[in-house]
Structure formats: C-alpha cells, structure tokens
C-alpha cells in the first residue's frame, strides 16, 4: 500500500543514510522500522504468541505435568514483562537518539 507521511528533515536524512549504509530501499527501511515499533508497543501480541507456543508444548500451568517447564515459562514471562517496563523507562533518552532497544553508551545522552 502506498501512503504519504510527513517526517522531520533530520529523521528523513538519517533514514536515507541508514538505507544506503545497509543497502536497503527507503520503503523497506520504513516498513521494517514500523514493524519493529508495532512489535515493541503491542506486548499483548508477544504474550499471546508465547502462550500459544507454550500451549503447543504443553507447558502452560495446569496443562503440563512438567513443573520445571511450567516454572521456566513463568520466569521467562516475568522477565519479558520486566524488560518491557525497563525499555519504557529508558525509552525517553534512548528514543531521542532513535535507539529504542538500548541506552547509548554516553550515559543516556545522544552522541550525535
């Protein structure tokens, strides 16, 4: 689908540089970025996918007989929730640099 959006010049220029550096088209770059953004902001979808996978292997609590697998599933789910919360906490300083997945090594300040 084609669409038109307005973005700040500096964001566009950064996207252009990244597209050239990674040998991707602008269309693919923007599509990949939006997919990643949606995945990060729809944790319910991630939880649903994890639950479906765990159900398939019989690891959901009450469905599986393996207490170790059930315990591990709860731990992974808990850690994933904590990671999402931490990303939201650091997202302010990191997103200013366009880095949602990690905090820059400059102590939270953009190095640009």
- Cβ contact 101:91 at 8 Å: no
**pLDDT reading at 9 higher than 80:** yes
> What's the rounded Cα separation, in Å, for the pair 98 and 93?
9
- Cβ contact 64:53 at 8 Å: no
Domain ranges of the chain: 8-41, 43-112
| pTM for this predicted structure | 0.41
The H or E element spanning position 70 is helix 67-95
pLDDT band at residue 103 using 50, 70 and 90 as cut-offs:
very low
Dump pLDDT digits (tens) for 32-41.
999 988 888 8
* Residue 13, SS3 per DSSP: helix
- Cβ contact 47:77 at 8 Å: yes
């Amino acid at each position: 689908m084609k669409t038109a959006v307005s973005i700040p010049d500096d964001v566009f220029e950064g996207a252009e540089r990244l597209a050239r550096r990674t040998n991707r088209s602008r269309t693919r770059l923007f599509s990949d970025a939006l997919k990643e953004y949606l995945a990060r902001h729809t944790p319910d979808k991630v939880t649903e996918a994890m639950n479906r996978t765990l159900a398939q292997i019989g690891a959901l609590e009450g469905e599986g007989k393996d207490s170790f697998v059930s315990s591990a599933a709860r731990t992974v789910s808990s850690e994933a929730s904590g990671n999402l919360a931490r990303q939201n906490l650091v997202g302010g300083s990191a997103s200013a640099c366009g880095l949602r997945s990690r905090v820059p090594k400059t102590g939270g300040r953009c190095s640009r």
